[in-house]
Structure 1
Amino acid sequence: MRNLVSLVLLFALAMLNSQASAAGDAGTLRVCADPNNLPFSNRAGEGFENKLAELVASSLGKNVSYTWWAQRRGFVRHTLKAGDCDLVMGVPAHYDLVETTQPYYRSTYVFVSQTARHLQLDAIDDPQLRTFRIGVHLIGDGGNNTPPAHALGQLGIVERVRGYMVYGDYRERNPPARLIEAVENGEIDVAAAWGPLAGYAAKQSRVPLTVTPIVGGERFAPQQFQFDIAMGVRKGDHALHDQLNDFITRNGAEINALLAEYGVPLAQDRLSSINGDRQ
Structure 2
Amino acid sequence: MRAALILLLALTACAPKPKPLRVCADPNNLPFSNQAGEGFENRLVALVARDLGRPVEYTWWAQRRGYVRNTLRDDRCDLWPGVATQVEMLATTRPYYRSTYVFVTRADRRIAIDSLDDPDLRRLTIGVQMIGDDSSNTPPTHALARRGIVQNVRGYMLYGDYSKPNPPAAIVEAVDRGEVDVAVAWGPLAGYFAGKAQHPLTLTPVRPWLDGPQWPMVFDVSMGVRREDTELRERLDEVLERRAPEIRALLAEYRVPTVSLP
CA deviation after TM superposition for structure 1 residue 198, in Å: 0.2
1:85 paired with 2:77, answer: yes
Letter in 2 for 1:200: Y
Alignment pair present for 1:104 and 2:86: no
| 1:113-154 deviation per Cα after TM superposition (whole angstroms, max 9, x unaligned) | 111112111101110111110000110225100111001001
Residue 22 (structure 2) pairs with residue 63 (structure 1): no
Matched residue of 1:268: which SS? coil
Q: Which residue of 1 aligns with 2:127?
A: 135
1:8 corresponds in structure 2 to none
Amino acid at match of 1:45: G
| Structure 1 match to 2:6 | none
Q: Does 1:166 align with 2:166?
A: no
In structure 2, how many angstroms separate the alpha carbons of the residues matched to 1:25 and 1:224? Answer: 44
Secondary structure of the corresponding residue to residue 175 of structure 2: helix
The one of 22, 26, 36 aligned to 1:30: 22
What secondary structure sits across from 1:112 in the alignment? strand
- Whether the 8 Å contact between 1:182 and 1:188 is mirrored in structure 2 is yes
> In the alignment, what sits opposite 1:180?
172
Residues 89-123 of structure 1: per-residue CA shift (max 9 Å, x gap): 11000011111011111000000011111211110
Normalised TM-score (structure 2) = 0.91
Asked if structure 2 preserves the Cα contact closer than 8 Å seen for 1:29 and 1:65, the reply is: yes
Report the alpha carbon displacement of residue 222 of structure 1 after superposing the two structures with TM: 2.0
Measure how far apart 1:220 and its partner are: 2.9
- Please name the residue that 2:8 is paired with: none
* Match for residue 255 of structure 1 among 244, 247, 257: 247
Question: In the TM superposition, what are the counterparts of 1:206-225 in structure 2 within 5 Å?
Answer: 206-225=198-217
Question: Would you say the 8 A contact 1:124–1:217 is kept in 2?
Answer: no
Secondary structure in 2 aligned to 1:181? helix
Contact 2:18 / 2:55 at 8 angstroms: preserved in 1? no
Counterpart residue number, 1:122: 114
Partner residue, 1:53: 45
Q: Is the 8 A contact 2:104 2:202 kept in 1?
A: yes
CA contact (8 A) 1:27 1:61 kept: no
| CA 141–241 in structure 1, closer or farther in 2 if over 3 Å, else same | same
The count of residues paired between Structure 1 and Structure 2 equals 248
In 2, the alpha carbon distance for the partners of 1:46 and 1:221 equals 36
Question: Normalising by the residue count of structure 1, what TM-score does the alignment of the two structures yield?
Answer: 0.86
Distance 1:58 1:151, change over 3 A: same
